[in-house]
Amino acid sequence: MTTLPPIELTAPDIRPWCQGNTGTDYVHQIDSGRPGPTVMVQALTHGNELCGALALRWLFGQPLALKQGKLTLAFANVAAFERFDPEAPHGSRYVDEDLNRVWADEVLDGPRDSVELRRARELRPFVDQADWLLDIHSMSEPCAPLMVCGTQDKNAALARRLGMPADLLIDTGHPAGLRMIERGGFGDPASPCLALLIECGQHWERAAEDVAIDSLVRFLQLAGLVDDDWAATRTRLPLPDQQRLVRVTEAVVAQSTAFEFLLPFDGLTVVPEQGTPIARDGDHVWRAPYANTVLVMPGLAHAKPGNTMVRLGRFESLG
């Protein structure tokens, strides 16, 4: 049984932002009235990931006059968030299913029903009108902040322009379903639409709130929605000296509840030797596919069949 990390963050009261100006609960839009990109920032894709909600609450308390374009701010899985219990914090990740696995048209337009599908269908028009998207997340296990760039190098290029965090990730998509950052133009290399998913640290560590706010401020600045002086007085963290990219080659998906890791891990463990046993699930053993295999976001908090337990990748030069 894994030890629960300390709960250093307090779930914010987001009820003041229930009724927005869009006709959809917990979705707000600010329109500069001038041409420019439509930027969307989403928090609470998972109901137990508090840092994004804290970042949006912070932003609502700031004077904000956009230079150009339009900004959409969304609290996503509010139904799951309302269940958050510090005594059992993993239980509020979602109500029926993971909101970040349902973004394919065939799922959204299909016959299935769930709390998360209903919410995704409400949010779809805002996602589809966005030119730039920032989806704010956190991780179940302690780990340095990580920028998930989806499957597209164009999004990694955007993260390099953003300058944070130190570690960037290009992966192979999620085997359980399409994530929001891969929907439509975000997942099309020929489209100008760009999307990033930032993992701000462990779910409930105090530092994750600062990372979430910093990424939000820098994202709005890079998109040209706010001026440099506004951003400079609100950034909290120095930029890393350098960034590095992990390119994932495969995901390790649990086949049973007997899944276990065979070596100690943290957020970005490097396994030096090819062939080293990494994990076991029944009779199957996963081994490091190459030298210096990187274990990306390993964890047992959501160990059940069909869930990704770890991604395997290698560090790649950014040139």
Starting at the edge strand found earlier in the chain, the sheet holding 260-261 runs 260-261, 277-281, 284-287
- CATH number of the domain where residue 181 is located: 3.40.630.10
Q: Which of 179, 208, 232 is the last residue of a domain?
A: 232
Whether 49 and 152 share a structural domain: yes
pLDDT in tens, 185-202: 999 999 999 999 999 999
Task: Identify the segments of the chain with pLDDT beneath 50.
Answer: 1
Cβ burial, residue 183 (10 Å; 0-12/13-18/19+): buried
86/160 same-domain check: yes
Q: What pLDDT does 72 receive?
A: 98
Asked if residue 208 is part of any domain, the answer here is yes
* Kind plus residue range of the DSSP H or E element containing 70: strand 70-75
Q: Do the beta carbons of residue 276 and residue 221 sit within 8 Å?
A: no
Are residues 300 and 178 both part of a single domain?
A: no
Residue 10, domain member (yes or no): no
Which pair of tokens denotes residue 89?
């914090």
Find tokens 């993971």 and name the residue.
98
* Rounded Cα–Cα distance for residues 212 and 90 (Å): 20
Which of 197, 232, 267 delimits the end of a domain?
A: 232
**For the whole model, what pTM was predicted?**
0.92
Q: Judge if 223 and 257 occupy the same domain.
A: no
Q: Nearest Cα to 263, choosing from 310, 307, 315?
A: 310
**Close Cβ partners of 86 (under 8 Å, ≥ 6 residues apart):** 7, 11
Residues 195 and 87 in one domain: yes
We report the CATH number of the domain holding residue 287 as 2.40.50
The predicted pLDDT at position 1 comes to 45
Claim to verify: residue 210 and residue 157 sit in the same structural domain: yes
Residue 27 lies in a domain: yes
Q: Is residue 114 part of a domain?
A: yes
How far is the C-alpha of 226 from the C-alpha of 311, rounded, in Å? 36
| The amino acid at 114 | S
| 110 and 198 share one domain | yes
Q: Is residue 243 part of a domain?
A: no
Q: b/e string for 300-319 if b means 16 or more Cβ within 10 A? A: bbebeeebbbbbbbbeeeee
Residue-range definition of the domain harbouring residue 40: 15-232
Are residues 197 and 270 both part of a single domain? no
* Domains in the chain, number: 2
- Residue 28: inside a domain: yes
Q: Per the domain annotation, does 223 fall within a domain? A: yes
CA distance 122 to 120: 5
Q: Report the pLDDT value the prediction gives residue 319, as an integer from 0 to 100.
A: 57
- Residue 309 pLDDT: 87
Residue 71 has a pLDDT of 98
